[in-house]
Amino acid sequence: MRTKQIIPSKLFTTLATVVIVSVTFAANAETKIDKSKLPPASDKKGVTFAADIKPLFEKSCVKCHGAEKPKARLRLDNLEGALKGGDNGKVIEPGKSADSVLVHNVAWLGEEDYFMPPKGNKAGIAQLTKEEVGLIRAWIDQGAK
């Protein structure tokens, strides 16, 4: 009997710890993003993945988030992969660019560990311009199609 009581107790403690860590992580992630620092969305209409975003991602993202060994299992070489997200969940909230993790990361807001492309990356890929981030915002705000 004693063994049966210990296992549920350990299980409860483990689950409680996971919940606390998850809630704390989510709360910290949310408070570290100052959305007022985001570049504005582009005013370009009809922004599509194929015509506008894919070339940008190919230049700045696909080296690490392409078909071969995509980091964090996040693929940005195709629309389906971008919308699916990766190990850390969805990174795009269609219609809500200011709430999209992808936008926060490419705008270099929040935790430096999540900046994309990373500062000082080996490939020498530069930070996206405000205009490029604005184009990604417009695409997401227009439904990420």
Beta strands in the chain, from DSSP E residues, in sequence order:
none
Express as a percent the part of the chain with pLDDT over 70.
Answer: 79
Could you report the per-residue pLDDT of 9-66, keeping only the tens digit for each?
555 554 444 444 444 344 434 547 999 999 999 999 999 999 999 999 999 999 999 9
pTM for the model: 0.78
Claim to verify: residue 6 and residue 47 sit in the same structural domain: no
Claim to verify: residue 18 and residue 55 sit in the same structural domain: no
Claim to verify: residue 100 and residue 74 sit in the same structural domain: yes
Claim to verify: residue 9 and residue 76 sit in the same structural domain: no
Claim to verify: residue 18 and residue 83 sit in the same structural domain: no
Range of the domain at 10: 1-31
Claim to verify: residue 25 and residue 55 sit in the same structural domain: no
Residue 103 has pLDDT above 70, yes or no: yes
Query: Using CA of residue 116, residue 80, residue 87, residue 91, what is the dihedral sign?
Result: positive
Claim to verify: residue 85 and residue 116 sit in the same structural domain: yes
CA distance 35 to 110: 10
How confident is the prediction for the chain on average, in pLDDT? Answer: 86
Claim to verify: residue 73 and residue 102 sit in the same structural domain: yes
C-alpha of 23 from chain center: 18
Contact partners, residue 118, CB within 8 Å, separation at least 6: none
Claim to verify: residue 124 and residue 101 sit in the same structural domain: yes
| Rg value, the chain, Cα | 19
Number of domains in the chain: 2
> Could you tell me the end-to-end alpha-carbon distance of the chain, in angstroms, rounded to an integer?
57
Amino acid at 6: I
Buried b (16+ CB within 10 A) or exposed e, 98-114: bebbbbbbbbbbbeeeb
Claim to verify: residue 78 and residue 114 sit in the same structural domain: yes
Q: What is the pLDDT of residue 32?
A: 75
Claim to verify: residue 16 and residue 60 sit in the same structural domain: no
Claim to verify: residue 22 and residue 49 sit in the same structural domain: no
